[in-house]
Structure 1
């Protein structure tokens, strides 16, 4: 089961976190997302007092290739001391187009987007 929740509603986030076995924190390579992720990590650490087996990982999403912020985000995130998935998701038109057509990138011709999602899902499966 996947529960998608808002990043800023602490009370709702606490309930979702306590219901989870694995929390994936998606974030864009931007200072605002890193700050928001840090707040979510704090909530997860609180929850791990009651649920020590709770796992947490960071997932880089909408990464723009060949940019300094895209390259440097991992070093910044390392300060949170939370595992970072190695399979980044790039900023691709195929993701927006799939929403318009009511499909997924797995149904489209963009091989790079498909590979990113397949690697991401394989990595998540290994966590459980």
Structure 2
């Protein structure tokens, strides 16, 4: 299964989500490939900052031909996670076309709702060529017990074909602390709340994979 983490808006936490999802999948015993499709190379920089290699493979491929090369890349892995590029439509389209499931991280902010429309439109266009493509919003950096967090689902309802996952990630310091050390949250605090939230997200994706295979 190929999971693209994409949003045409920058700064929504795509790399953090992609890296930690790859870690979750790998720790469950799956063969995992993390593809850095962002010209900024943030996932590659995370890998280079580590003292030891991660327990999954990280490659860079910020290329508009990604969707054509992905079948060959993915064939030896159980799960592939693509860290997509912001504001680059050609690369964004390629990453979307390469994916089975697109996660759209959005922060609980009106700006993110407005920007989400562009990503949803790219997915609509891609479905004309790949009707099996699935997509869902992932609320990231949610601030617990606030009205804007509760009301955010209603704002995203203007995109009825794109559901909101029941697996929000709360804003927590451990995400930044682990990234700065070239580690995943599961390596730094495997029994913490953030790790549990990430595992719930990974479990939902695996369940989706199993439903599609059934």
- 1:87 and 1:101 map into 2 onto residues whose CA distance is 25
Aligned to 1:122: 203
Aligned to 1:59: 138
Shift of 1:107: 2.1
Instruction: Please say which of residues 45-54 and 96-105 is displaced more in the overlay.
Output: 96-105
Aligned with 2:123 (options 44, 47, 59) = 44
- Which runs of 4 or more aligned residues in structure 1 lie more than 3 Å from their structure 2 counterparts after TM superposition? none
The two structures, once aligned, show a CA RMSD in angstroms of: 1.3
Secondary structure of the residue that 2:83 maps to in structure 1? coil
Aligned positions, number: 128
Choose 1 or 2 for highest CA Rg: 2
Larger relative contact order (Cα-Cα within 8 Å, sequence gap ≥ 6): 2
Shift of 1:33: 1.2
Shift of 1:127: 2.0
Shift of 1:125: 1.3
Structure 1 or 2: more helix by fraction: 1
Contact between 1:7 and 1:40, CA under 8 Å: does it hold in 2? no
Contact between 1:8 and 1:36, CA under 8 Å: does it hold in 2? no
Q: Where in structure 1 are there 5+ consecutive unaligned residues?
A: none
Q: Where in structure 2 are there 5+ consecutive unaligned residues?
A: 1-79, 210-214
- 1:127 and 1:97 map into 2 onto residues whose CA distance is 30
Structure 1 or 2: more strand by fraction: 2
Where do residues 1-128 of structure 1 align in structure 2 (5 Å cutoff)? Answer: 1-81=80-160, 82-109=162-189, 111-128=192-209
Shift of 1:56: 0.5
Secondary structure of the residue that 2:104 maps to in structure 1? strand
